[in-house]
Structure 1
Amino acid sequence: MPSAIPRACRKRGCARTTSDRSGYCEEHRNEGWEQHQGGKTRHQRGYGSKWDVIRARILKRDRHLCQECLRQQKPAPASTVDHIKPKAHGGTDDDANLQALCWSCHKGKTAKERCK
């Protein structure tokens, strides 16, 4: 099988090329995810073992169905638990602030919140 065609590194301003599947050159390979997460681990961001218990409870409460898709009368399986009011904007892990969402609804909601 031929090797992959080198492409520009995904790091803004980097002139290097890479054939790595991540899209980052050797120098920037681990920066994409770390930069997005602010260099913090899952536990440091508040998603440790306590969150695992909360997540399971919310998925069970919402019967593993995406709440946004249900509002649109198109039931779909939920795979994530979302903060209705994001933690970054003062939201809490209280059950009333959490909802089960499918991946595409969660991704879309998060993208909209970043624009605010």
Structure 2
Amino acid sequence: MPKAIPRACRKQGCAATTTDRSGYCESHRNTGWEQHQQGKSRHERGYGSKWDVIRARILHRDKHLCQECMRTGRAKAAATVDHIKPKSQGGTDDDGNLQGLCWPCHKRKTATERKP
């Protein structure tokens, strides 16, 4: 089998090349997720076993349907539980501040919340 063709590292601004399947060079391998999570475990971020119980309760309450899609007249399975008012902006884990969302809706909502 021929060797893999070296490709540019996926890390923005890195000039190194790699043949690794991850797409990152040796110095940037395994850093993307750590940076995204700021080095904290899910428990340190407030998503431990207590959150697992809350998540199951909210998905059951919302009948495992994406609430954003339901508002636009579509029925799509919810894959995650979202904080309506983000925890970073003072939101809580209160049931009234939580909703079931599909991944595309959650990703879109999170992206708009990060804008200044």
CA, structure 1 residues 41+74, in 2 after alignment: closer, same or farther (shift >3 Å)? same
Q: Distance in 1 between matches of 2:17 and 2:29?
A: 12
Shift of 1:20: 2.4
- After TM superposition, the structure 1 = structure 2 runs for residues 1-20 of structure 1, keeping only pairs within 5 Å, are 2-20=2-20
Shift of 1:3: 4.7
Indicate the larger mover: 11-20 or 103-112.
11-20
Structure 2 match to 1:72: 72
Q: Distance in 2 between matches of 1:97 and 1:3?
A: 52
Cα-to-partner distance string for 1:27-67 (whole Å, 9 max, x where unaligned): 11111000011110111111110000000000000000000
Shift of 1:78: 0.4
1:55 aligned counterpart, secondary structure: helix
Any unmatched runs of 5+ in structure 2? none
Structure 1 match to 2:50: 50
2:105 aligned counterpart, secondary structure: helix
1:104 and 2:104 equivalent? yes
Shift of 1:101: 0.2
Indicate the larger mover: 85-94 or 17-26.
17-26
TM-score (norm 1): 0.92
TM-score (norm 2): 0.92
1:113 aligned counterpart, secondary structure: helix
Any unmatched runs of 5+ in structure 1? none
Structure 2 match to 1:91: 91
The two structures, once aligned, show a CA RMSD in angstroms of 1.3
Fraction of identical pairs, as percent = 76
